[in-house]
Amino acid sequence: MPTLNWSSKTPPSSVPASLQTDSILFPQGKGYPHGKAENRLILGDNLNVMSALLEEYEGCINLIYADPPFFTNKRWKARVGRGEDSRRPEEWDTVEGYTDYWPNIETYLDMLFPRLALMHRLLHPEGTLYLHLDWHANHYARLLLDEIFGPDRLLNEIIWTYHGPSPIRSAFNRKHDTILSYTKSAEYTFNVDDVREPYNPNTVKTFQSSPKAGFGKVPDLERGKVPEDWWYFPVIARLHNERTGYPTQKPEALLERIILASSNPGDIVADFFCGSGTSVVMARKLGRRFIASDAQWRAIQATRNRLIQTPGIAISLEMESQARPPRGEADIRDLVTIQRDSAHPSISIAESLTEELDYWEIDPDWDGKIFHSAAQAARPLRKGKIASELNIPSLGGKIAIRFIKIDGEQSALYV
Ligand SMILES: C[S@@+](CC[C@H](N)C(=O)[O-])C[C@H]1O[C@@H](n2cnc3c(N)ncnc32)[C@H](O)[C@@H]1O
């Protein structure tokens, strides 16, 4: 079988790594989070994160969606703060999102190859990997996946098409991505009836007027058709209501189709390049468990903000050895009011602070080790302000409050 070779290629392997739990979160109003969380959100380089997960999850993950950097040689900016959703781009603040910059293709392949091999090890024997790329590197990736999974394990080469402006005048506009799906074995989950779509109205009309139109094959017009391997979904443009401001965010509808087709309720869906967390938000909505990781704190924070607005069970936030959120030094004690003894204990923050915050959360019984987040407020995705008051269960212990500013800095107050 032909394989792809490059000068620095080495056999893929795992690395020594460990994870630490930072916090456990129950979405607002669900009570105090006790015990282990079934959903995991992890900050860190995914080579280390996946290596650390092998012991518990080798052969266990039902579906992996991977949307890595595409080898675009760009530094992608994130748009943050108030006004991001406005029609006036001059009001946006931009900060570093993530870097997709490589000295050469060898360095890129050195990143991709061992990570795809780890995903293969983590997959359940009946699991599927969807790898999302575009013309920059999908041809290399296909050979890597043939080598890791076997060429006969290619399930689909999916083309996702979309519209959008483009400066290109010397070629056709490049308006599709390629998603390669590979299964770990010949036995795999594919829920065809969950992803059927209505037939084109012309097809329906033709068969209704002439049942013989299909040369003996009569489609089940009621049940709908199996989608082709080319999909149209609009991209997340500036005024799209799913938009978080995190760069290269993918549409929920795209992930919904992938998750419905290749996993079942209760299964584990993982995304180790999670960005703003589209896949895991959809996994949560569809009753799947999830594991998500990203090397950028901003991505983890964007994912958490979306997750707490989606009903579901507890989530743990973990960090790979050296990965930590940036620390802030804010002195905010005077801006916080605590109502501990009333019938409805609550904590409120000054209006001036709401302008600066992306997120804040409360542990009403701080044990000095793991933050048990019993109440959270996040900046709404589109319009409106972050909540300035949160109710807490009255546990009578030491209270810890954490604040994340729009620039990502985290600070804490203990009372
Ligand atoms: C294309 S974006 C993912 C976008 C995501 N699908 C969404 O809908 O928002 C790629 C992500 O991979 C992350 N990333 C790149 N290299 C990584 C690595 N070695 N470990 C973990 N995350 C990484 C980047 O920080 C970035 O957030």
Q: Which atom of ligand 1 has the smallest separation from the CA of 68?
A: 10
Pocket test for ligand 1, best of 98, 162, 305 (most atoms within 8 A of CB): 98
Atom number, ligand 1, closest to the C-alpha of residue 278? 8
Going from the Cα of 158 to the center of ligand 1, the distance in angstroms, rounded, reads 20
What does the alpha-carbon distance between residue 120 and residue 183 come to, in Å, rounded to a whole number? 9
Q: Which residue from 235, 242, 273 has its CB within 8 A of the most atoms of ligand 1, so it is best to mutate?
A: 273
Cα of 401 to ligand 1 centre, how many Å?
Answer: 29
301 lines ligand 1 (CB under 6 A): no
Tokens of 185: 């074995």
Q: For ligand 1, is residue 303 a contact (CB within 6 Å)?
A: no
Pocket test for ligand 1, best of 43, 294, 303 (most atoms within 8 A of CB): 294
pLDDT at position 313 is 82
Closest ligand 1 atom to 273 CA:
12
- Whether 246 lines ligand 1, by a CB cut-off of 6 Å, is yes
Cα–ligand 1 centroid distance for 97 (angstroms): 9
Range in 166-170, 235-239, 279-283 with the lowest mean pLDDT: 235-239
Nearest ligand 1 atom, CA 98: 25
Tell me which residue has its CA closest to atom 26 in ligand 1: 275
Class of domain 19-194+233-320: alpha beta
Residue 83 scores a pLDDT above 60 = no
| Measured CA distances, 345 to 5, 34, 308, 392, 394 (Å) | 63, 20, 21, 6, 6
Instruction: Say which residues have a Cβ less than 8 Å from residue 213's Cβ, sequence separation at least 6.
Output: 206, 207
DSSP 194: G
**Residue 167's pLDDT is what?**
85
Average pLDDT for the chain: 91
The verdict on the CB of residue 130 being under 6 Å from ligand 1 is no
**Portion of the chain with pLDDT greater than 90, in percent:** 67
State the closest ligand 1 atom to the C-alpha of 244, by its place in the atom list counted from 1.
9
Report whether residue 278 contacts ligand 1, using a CB cutoff of 6 Å.
yes
Q: What is the dihedral of CA 296, 297, 300, 306, to 10 degrees?
A: -120
pLDDT at 243: 84
Residue 273 Cα to ligand 1 midpoint, Å, equals 4
Q: Do the Cβ atoms of 98 and 247 come closer than 8 Å?
A: yes
Ligand 1 binding pocket includes 299 (Cβ within 6 Å):
yes
How far apart are the CA of 69 and the centre of ligand 1, in A? 6
Q: In this predicted model, what pLDDT tens digit does every residue of 263-315 receive, in sequence order?
A: 999 999 999 999 999 999 999 999 999 999 999 999 999 999 999 988 888 99
In ligand 1, the atom with minimum distance to the C-alpha of 275 is 27
* CATH number of this structure's domain 333-414: 2.60.40
Q: Is 250 in the pocket of ligand 1 (CB under 6 A)?
A: yes
Residue type, 13: S
CB atoms within 10 A of CB 369: 8
Give span(s): CATH 2.60.40, the chain: 333-414
Q: How do residues 318-344 score in pLDDT, each as one tens digit?
A: 999 888 888 887 678 888 999 887 888
CA–CA–CA angle 46, 71, 243 (5° rounding) = 75
User: Does residue 84 have a pLDDT over 90?
Assistant: no
Q: What is the dihedral of CA 67, 15, 323, 99, to 10 degrees?
A: -40
Q: Phi then psi for 309, rounded to 5 degrees?
A: -90, 5
Residues 156-162, mean pLDDT to the nearest whole number: 97
CA atoms lying within 13 Å on the CB side of residue 205: 3
The finding on whether 68 has its CB within 6 A of some atom of ligand 1 is yes
Q: What mean pLDDT comes out for the span 228-246?
A: 87
Residue of the nearest CA to atom 5 in ligand 1? 275
Q: Average pLDDT in the 191-216 region? A: 84
Residue whose CA is at the smallest distance from ligand 1 atom 12: 273
Q: Whose CA is nearest to atom 3 of ligand 1?
A: 275
Tell me the chain's radius of gyration from C-alpha atoms.
Answer: 23
CB of 67 closer than 6 angstroms to any ligand 1 atom:
yes
294 lines ligand 1 (CB under 6 A): yes
Q: Say which residue, 383 or 103, is predicted with more confidence.
A: 103
Predicted confidence (pLDDT) per residue in 94-141, tens digit: 888 899 999 999 999 999 999 999 999 999 999 999 999 999 999 999
User: Which regions of the chain carry the CATH code 3.40.50.150?
Assistant: 19-194+233-320
